[in-house]
Chains A and B, each alone.
Chain A
Amino acid sequence: MTLLALLSGRGFQSALEPAGTHAARIARLWDIFLIVSVVVWVLVMIALLMAAFRRRRAQHDETAGATNTVSIATGITAVTLFALLVSSVLTGRSIVDKTAPGALQLIVTGHQWWWQVEYDDPQKSNRFQDANEITIPVGVPVNIQLRSSDVIHSFWVPNLNGKQDLIPGHDGTIQLLANKPGVYRGQCAEFCGLQHAKMSLWINAVTPDEYAKWLASSRQPSKIPSTPEQRIGQQVFMSSPCPLCHTIQGTDAGGKTAPDLTHFASRRSIAAATLPNRRGYLAGWIVDPQHLKPGSQMPPMLMKQGELEPLLAYLESLQ
């Protein structure tokens, strides 16, 4: 066990290191189940080993004693299971999505193989989109509507809550309530096809102040290119097939089938949280995405001499 403890994961995608109310309650329930299970297993093993290796005395009928022991053990089993059932149902009720006043509303749509994130707002001009990264304020409940555009996916950020499926035709919901600032990783948990392994996302839990700042900047359209190279890059973007799938607010690019790139440069990673958002990876992703993530909907882009560098410069300017 100590060996296992030493070899555990890094903690940003772990049900054992809760950073949210829901996950903390589940973790407490888990502790109860774990302790009970260990005790039960140890007792059964002691009984088994004693039965196997005890010193045998002279023959006499032990059936009556055995009947009592087995009956008592069965009774204890039933009582223990009932106690576990009650604790499980109570925890289950405490983590049901509550209609919390002041809760933020998000819509997350699963696609093969990325996450589309829409920040809802009663005022239409305040709505905006992001992809594969969700920013939430600490201490504020966030209600997420879960949809799927194609097959079944499952939304799971273990540090914050259990998982919930995204099923075409059956909208689901999940509530997150982070209580520690930090960066947490989530991953699609329902097998969704070829690149199921590479469908992850990041959750940035930030203080309410930081969140307000982030929200204000995220509602802005994209930055206007400020250097000649970025301007060339923007032209490259607009004249290649990119805008057919991608949106950049404030420009003519309005494609709806791929991640919104309005604030692309502020993202931590690309390819659904599976590659760092750095120039080398980005260049590779644009030129040959099928090598990095075979089967991805992103087609390879044929770049002429001198086009790639400005394009990268433009994308990196989209803070």
Chain B
Amino acid sequence: MSAMDATPYALPNSDAEHEQLQEIWAPKRGLFSWFAQIDHHSIGRRFIFTAFVWFGLGGLLAALMRIQLAKPNNTFLSADQYNQIFTMHGTTMMFLFAVPVMEAVAIYMIPLMVGTRALAFPRANAYAYYLFLFGGIMLYVAFFLNMGPDAGWFNYVPLAGPEFSPGKRIDIWAQLVNFTEISALTVAVEIIVTIFKMRAPGMSINRMPLYVWSMLVTAFMIVFAMPSVMTASNFIGLDRLVGTHFFNRAEGGDVLLWQHLFWFFGHPEVYIIFIPGLGMVSAIIEAFCHRRIFGYTAMVMSLVATAFIGFGLWVHHMFAVGLPQSGQSFFTAASMMIAIPSGIQIFCWIATIWMGKPNFRPPLMFVLGFVAIFVIGGLTGVMLASVPIDLQVHDTFFVVAHLHYVLIGGAVFPLLAALFYWFPKMTGRLMNERVGHISFWLAFIGFNVTFFPQHKLGLVGMTRRIYTYLPETGWGPLNLLSTIGAGILALGMIAYVGNALYSMKWGPIAGSNPWDGATLEWATTSPPPHYNFLHIPTVSGLEPLWNNPENAPVVTGLATDKRELLITRMLDAEPDHRFVFPNPSIWPFISAVSTAGMLVSLLFSAWALPIGTVIVAIFLTLWFWPTTPKKEGEEPPNDGAAEAVA
């Protein structure tokens, strides 16, 4: 197991080794096996698909709101419907789409980009997916039963407390947070471990693609931010279910505790959503300008700096609360400072485009659109960091405009770019470029027509979360314009999704590297085999595929009769040991079902916790029950076998 030879990364499919690896790694057929799958491709695809279903529903809710607001005193929706709908829209987009879809893309792409066979903790990955799915189903079932949460995605107490929101609506919101955050935290850990320990030999930490860096930073942010909101959601669940007084001031609780806990998660959440987007943008600019991203080190440091500063500005959501001046100035300074790393990245991308040869295919168009939109979002963010300006525009449509510029501009545009870019890798087929251009222009124009006027609406007094307004306010025309824009934006989205669905079946065959990309995911066939690479590649630079890939050595000697893969060291990615991966298992699915059962039962009785814990523990024990090592290949990690590759 010490030889390296000069074989290309992916060999013809007829190879005998391929047959054997396929036998070992491919999921079995049948319904039972479908639920037992742990393969990162299938879980990643399901994750992306599910997240887009929630995205579509969240978008439909947005359309309903835009129809309601198109004219003053409209009666299309009632106050109660509108309040449920805006709460559902925010909750769906933040908890069921933005974070999960970014993690979902990473589940699929990260193992390919770091050059390994699988994602770490594959069974946990399946568990995370099913919890995400069940959480979303619970939320929408409740919504269709007219039990949708109605206190906003931020769920402020005391409005969301037992006194002012009786019924189960808020409990459903709180439990959804538990579902999605267990899922998000699990996936974050998988991503961190995959990136730290499973990179191809030679991919030292300073040779990681920027997208991999961005997901590493994001995953760490998730690990530090999500526990805060889970704490908050369980506090409110307890206040509501068993009568604790975390937020009840009559009994010594405090309503501001909620806001601090929520925004300590809520602000980093924004960065969790768009930092992956920044990584995608870097990947696409590199591929379509055919040039290394200018200022790699500066880019990485900017990502890390953004993550750190991102935890230091949650109070800028609370300026109107009336906190002490000096404290507010600190958060103003921190909020403005975060513009510096973002600026550095924008400048480096522009320099890359300047020095490269831009090829204006649809992914690059989405990226250019992203820059135009995201810079506006960043600048309005600087405005909101200023306490006096924030006191005027806080909780108005100015903020609605700002956050959509940041999140649609900073995350959805890069995501659409990245899915167009990686679509051939995932499906083996190319999306239609002409429709791609059309969908870009519709989305770009529609987006700006929808959201740009909302800046003005906020400045002329239109507050957020209002189901209607009076004609005397004069807000009607701009709202109508905004609604028209939303229609154009929707057309763009429909064109994009239609393009994807059509191309999945009838698009032209892509080949392994249709864009002449530089990173390892393009080294294998499209779609990749279940084991990703016939031989684990080695890496000697930032752009392995632009550097004579034919001559790059590969790792040989990994067992092909069991799920063996190579663990490397964290910083330099030197081979460390071989590790045998677990086999597919139904227990993650059953554990997820029982966890979901427990969480849903907790809506009604506190007894669900002790009883549910025992049941979940039983299934988790079965999940981790050691199987006979020889037969199933579930032997413990083979630490001594560092003899992997020279």
Where the two chains meet, the residues of A that have a C-beta atom closer than 8 Å to any C-beta of B are: 4, 7-11, 13-16, 23, 25-26, 29-30, 33-34, 37, 40-41, 44-45, 47-48, 50-52, 54, 56, 62-63, 66-67, 69-70, 73-74, 77-78, 81, 84-85, 88-89, 91-93, 95-96, 112, 150-152, 154, 156, 158, 161-165, 167-170, 172-173, 185, 187-198, 274, 294-295
B349 nearest CB across to chain A (Å) = 8
**A48 — which chain B residues lie within 8 A by C-beta?**
350, 353, 368, 371-372
Contact among A69, A170, A295 with B321 in the assembled complex (CB-CB below 8 Å)? A170
**A196 — which chain B residues lie within 8 A by C-beta?**
83, 465-466
**A77 — which chain B residues lie within 8 A by C-beta?**
339-340, 343
B236-286 interface (Cβ within 8 A of A): 249, 254-256
Contact among A23, A29, A294 with B386 in the assembled complex (CB-CB below 8 Å)? A29
Bound together, the chains give a CA A81 to CA B382 distance in angstroms of 8
A262 nearest CB across to chain B (Å) = 26
In the complex, the chain A residue whose C-beta lies closest to that of B341 is A74
Q: Are B79 and A168 in contact (CB under 8 A)?
A: no
Q: Does B441 contact A (CB under 8 A)?
A: no
Q: Are A163 and B294 in contact (CB under 8 A)?
A: no
**B461 — which chain A residues lie within 8 A by C-beta?**
9, 13-15, 158, 185, 187
A138 nearest CB across to chain B (Å) = 21
Bound together, the chains give a CA A172 to CA B255 distance in angstroms of 14
Q: Are B158 and A84 in contact (CB under 8 A)?
A: no
Q: Does B53 contact A (CB under 8 A)?
A: no
Among listed B199-207, B209-217, B473-481, interface-contacting one: B473-481
**B322 — which chain A residues lie within 8 A by C-beta?**
164-165, 167, 170, 172-173
Among listed B107-115, B327-335, B527-535, B556-564, interface-contacting one: B327-335
Q: Are A4 and B478 in contact (CB under 8 A)?
A: yes
Q: Knowing that A41-B376, A84-B386, A164-B322 are A-B contacts, what are 11 other residue pairs whose CB atoms are under 8 Å apart, sorted by A's residue number?
A: A9-B473, A47-B350, A54-B354, A73-B347, A152-B255, A172-B322, A173-B322, A187-B463, A193-B151, A197-B466, A198-B468
A294 with B336, Cβ < 8 A, contacts A44-B375, A191-B465 known: no
**A173 — which chain B residues lie within 8 A by C-beta?**
322
A29 with B460, Cβ < 8 A, contacts A37-B379, A74-B344 known: no
Q: Are A191 and B159 in contact (CB under 8 A)?
A: yes
Bound together, the chains give a CA A167 to CA B254 distance in angstroms of 10
Q: Are A163 and B355 in contact (CB under 8 A)?
A: no
Q: Are A26 and B256 in contact (CB under 8 A)?
A: no
Q: Are A84 and B353 in contact (CB under 8 A)?
A: no
The winner among A23, A33, A274 for most chain B CB atoms within 10 A is: A33
**B376 — which chain A residues lie within 8 A by C-beta?**
41
In the complex, the chain A residue whose C-beta lies closest to that of B155 is A191
A30 with B392, Cβ < 8 A, contacts A8-B460, A73-B343, A150-B164 known: yes
* 6 pairs of residues in contact across A and B, judged by CB atoms under 8 Å: A4-B456, A30-B389, A66-B294, A70-B348, A152-B255, A187-B463
Q: Are B255 and A168 in contact (CB under 8 A)?
A: yes
Bound together, the chains give a CA A185 to CA B376 distance in angstroms of 29
B341-383 interface (Cβ within 8 A of A): 343-344, 346-348, 350-351, 353-355, 357-358, 360, 368, 371-372, 375-376, 379-380, 382-383
Q: Does B387 contact A (CB under 8 A)?
A: yes
Contact among A37, A78, A165, A194 with B382 in the assembled complex (CB-CB below 8 Å)? A37
**A85 — which chain B residues lie within 8 A by C-beta?**
332-333, 336
Bound together, the chains give a CA A150 to CA B156 distance in angstroms of 13
Contact among B156, B346, B368, B462 with A52 in the assembled complex (CB-CB below 8 Å)? B368
Bound together, the chains give a CA A10 to CA B343 distance in angstroms of 37
A70 with B344, Cβ < 8 A, contacts A84-B382, A89-B332, A294-B78 known: yes
**B360 — which chain A residues lie within 8 A by C-beta?**
52
Bound together, the chains give a CA A51 to CA B355 distance in angstroms of 8
Bound together, the chains give a CA A187 to CA B389 distance in angstroms of 17
Q: Does B571 contact A (CB under 8 A)?
A: no
Contact among B152, B379, B459 with A41 in the assembled complex (CB-CB below 8 Å)? B379
B380-396 interface (Cβ within 8 A of A): 380, 382-383, 385-396
**A-contact 0/1 string along B408-441, CB 8 Å cutoff:** 0000000000000000000000000000000000
Q: Does B11 contact A (CB under 8 A)?
A: no
Q: Are B368 and A84 in contact (CB under 8 A)?
A: no
Bound together, the chains give a CA A195 to CA B159 distance in angstroms of 12
The winner among A151, A161, A169 for most chain B CB atoms within 10 A is: A151
**B254 — which chain A residues lie within 8 A by C-beta?**
169
Q: Are B395 and A45 in contact (CB under 8 A)?
A: no
Contact among A34, A70, A164 with B320 in the assembled complex (CB-CB below 8 Å)? A164
Q: Does B551 contact A (CB under 8 A)?
A: no
**B249 — which chain A residues lie within 8 A by C-beta?**
168-169
Bound together, the chains give a CA A26 to CA B384 distance in angstroms of 12
Q: Does B453 contact A (CB under 8 A)?
A: yes
**A169 — which chain B residues lie within 8 A by C-beta?**
249, 254-255
Contact among A44, A158, A164 with B346 in the assembled complex (CB-CB below 8 Å)? A44
Bound together, the chains give a CA A25 to CA B396 distance in angstroms of 19
Contact among A69, A70, A195 with B79 in the assembled complex (CB-CB below 8 Å)? A195
Q: Are A7 and B382 in contact (CB under 8 A)?
A: no
Q: Are A26 and B477 in contact (CB under 8 A)?
A: no
Bound together, the chains give a CA A173 to CA B320 distance in angstroms of 11
Q: Are B387 and A92 in contact (CB under 8 A)?
A: yes
Listed from nearest, the 7 A-B pairs whose CB atoms lie closest are A162-B391, A13-B461, A9-B460, A197-B466, A88-B386, A51-B354, A169-B249
